[in-house]
Structure 1
Amino acid sequence: MSGRHRKPTTSSVSVAKVAFTGAVLGGGGIAMAGHAAAATDWEWDQVARCESGGNWAINTGNGYYGGVQFTPGTWASHGGGEFAPSAQLATREQQIAVAERVLATQGRGAWPVCGHGLSSATLRDVPAPAAMDAPVDAPDVNGEPARWPTPHPRGRRTAGRPGPAGAIRR
């Protein structure tokens, strides 16, 4: 061995540059991938304005319901039944949560005319209505287990002796 170091050739310098550039750009791409833009409430309001005039409770009788015009099948198959039996009976937030699921499975094409401005889907958690927040086994005022959200606990109604409207006699 002569003890001399080899001078870098053009090809090895190019390979090093390409490797470094790829690492920087590739790593940046991975870091940015987690920050994809999600469909915003404003975007959903725009879709609703286009689809239903912004009326989240609309039922025009054309087979489509709610602000972003769900079919009954789409509403049911994307979990809308956990909120309401039909889209127009659900809140705006609940409809958006279901719409995000539709966007995730069907893309913007689910709203071919009005969905072109939507960003990507971000699944949302929608809190249950306040009446549903109480645990099923929470004690009621008499220390007995309440049967929320069941409106009439089994075996607690007294037939033939109606009380005030909505009251349950014990």
Structure 2
Amino acid sequence: MQTVTEVEAFARRAHEGQTDKVGVPYIEHVRAVAAGLVPFGDDLVMAGLLHDVIEDTDWTAEQLRATGVPSHVVCVIEAVTNQAGVPYEEKIRRITADRNATLVKIADNAHNSHPDRSAQLPQDKRTRLAAKYRAARDLLWTAADERDIEAIVSIVNPSLLDELEERRARP
């Protein structure tokens, strides 16, 4: 059974040489997602660190299990992994069926929506992604407890707290 420290080192190696949409080493994204999941325990922190490993590297779920990543953590990673031919909105709906996958995706969405990151994108891409992430939040946030959402976004992207307050104020 791997520890969070071992999983973080594994994620760093697995994503070595990869950069995100704004050119930052990819490990920084998964670390930010994992940081937002700290209030929910080590298993979700591990899932946050590894949430893109199956999707963005050659690693498989079976290989992760063989390295000692707990099976229930791998199940969360599989739940948030893109599947060929599955539209994004359908993926988000599938994720909302699982509380832990929902929390990981909320943290991922919060970091992807961070104003410091989006400001570095071309305007057309920024606009398109903002609409995509906002639509995903409508589904994800409906499936989660507001205190959990607040705990995550206050760590990962505090600018979303205003959106959460607006949502609470709606009839």
Tell me the TM-score normalised to structure 1 length. 0.25
Please identify the structure whose Cα radius of gyration is greater: 1
Tell me the TM-score normalised to structure 2 length. 0.25
Higher percent of residues as helix? 2
